[in-house]
Amino acid sequence: MQRFVVLCALVWAALSNGFGQASTPTKSADNALSPVAWLVGGTWVTDVKNPQSGAVTHVDSHITWAPNHQAIQFVTDFNGKPHYNGFYAYDAAAQAIKFYYTSENGDLSIGTATPDPDGKTLRQQFDITHPNGNTEHYRSTIVRDGENSYQFTVLGQHNGEWKPEFQVQYQRKL
């Protein structure tokens, strides 16, 4: 009799937690993140030249699925040293791809990535909050050029106007 009572209690607990309820179909992360999933694999590389000093920064970006396959994570190195660490994830409430990343300087960037209907352009809007609390607004575009190349353009908002910050071409090395 005691086993029966325990079994009934376990069944009741499972049902009260929703295990026995029909669930509404949800959008899978694989499907929701497909506009950015093509970035996964290999190492994306580019060189960025400082227009004032002429110094060149070598950039390597390693993009992988998160172990739980619910996000796409990235680590971006500048001259071999980790600089950015972040991820893309699907926000079901907003029905949007969101991204979050931190810099080695303590900046926190939070934004939204919106794919164009052309299937090759990703438009991103984001805010960077600096350790001192100041926030800057940015827009960027990622324009896919085949399987192993994309153009990355960043605009910053200054005094209410959007001005170009930089534009680079990334290549994937497998």
List all residues 6 or more positions away from 140 whose beta carbon is below 8 Å from its beta carbon: 123, 124, 126, 152, 153, 154, 155
List all residues 6 or more positions away from 134 whose beta carbon is below 8 Å from its beta carbon: none
Degrees, nearest 5: CA angle 73-98-136: 100
**Mean pLDDT across the chain:** 87
Contact 141, 129 (CB under 8 A): no
The full set of domain ranges for the chain reads 27-173
C-alpha span between 159 and 32 (Å, rounded): 35
In this predicted structure, which of 16-20, 54-58, 136-140, 163-167 has the lowest mean pLDDT? 16-20
Model confidence at 23, pLDDT cuts 50, 70, 90, reads very low
pTM: 0.82
C-alpha span between 53 and 158 (Å, rounded): 22
Cα-based distances in Å from 44 to 18, 39, 77, 145: 43, 8, 10, 13
As given in the structure block, the two tokens for residue 36 are: 């950015």
What is the secondary structure of 102-113 as a DSSP string? EETTS-EEEEEE
Position 29 pLDDT exceeds 90: no
pLDDT digits (tens, 9 = 90+) for 37-71: 999 999 999 999 988 999 999 999 999 999 999 99
| CATH C-level class of 27-173 | mainly beta
